[in-house]
């Protein structure tokens, strides 16, 4: 796993000619990553990793298991601001 993560990071960096600092776990749900994959991402030199878990990121959330808030591209400005504040409109 570590070879795959490091190899992918290197390939993307070579293609884009910029450092890749952040990782997104494939699928990103809790069964899709574990302590082994988190360790591989850390050892590859990433600064953080994103999951598909919904929610806000406070101090209690590990930089290796960051959460997300999905935002519909057709939201009004007011609705977008509510989503950013952590309110779910649906």
Indicate if the pLDDT at residue 51 is higher than 60: yes
Domain 2-84: top CATH class: alpha beta
What does the pLDDT read at residue 8? 96
pLDDT the model gives residue 22: 97
**Per-state percent for the chain, helix, strand, coil, to nearest 5:** 40, 15, 45
Q: Give residue 71's pLDDT band: very low, low, confident or very high (50, 70, 90).
A: confident
pLDDT score of 83: 77
């Amino acid at each position: 796993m570590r070879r795959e993560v490091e190899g992918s990071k290197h390939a993307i960096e070579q293609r884009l000619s910029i450092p890749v600092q952040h990782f997104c776990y494939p699928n990103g749900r809790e069964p899709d990553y574990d302590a082994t994959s988190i360790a591989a991402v850390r050892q590859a030199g990433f600064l953080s990793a994103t999951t598909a878990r919904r929610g806000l990121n406070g101090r209690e959330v590990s930089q290796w298991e960051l959460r997300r808030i999905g935002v519909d591209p057709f939201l009004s400005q007011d609705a977008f601001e509510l989503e950013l504040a952590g309110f779910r409109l649906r």
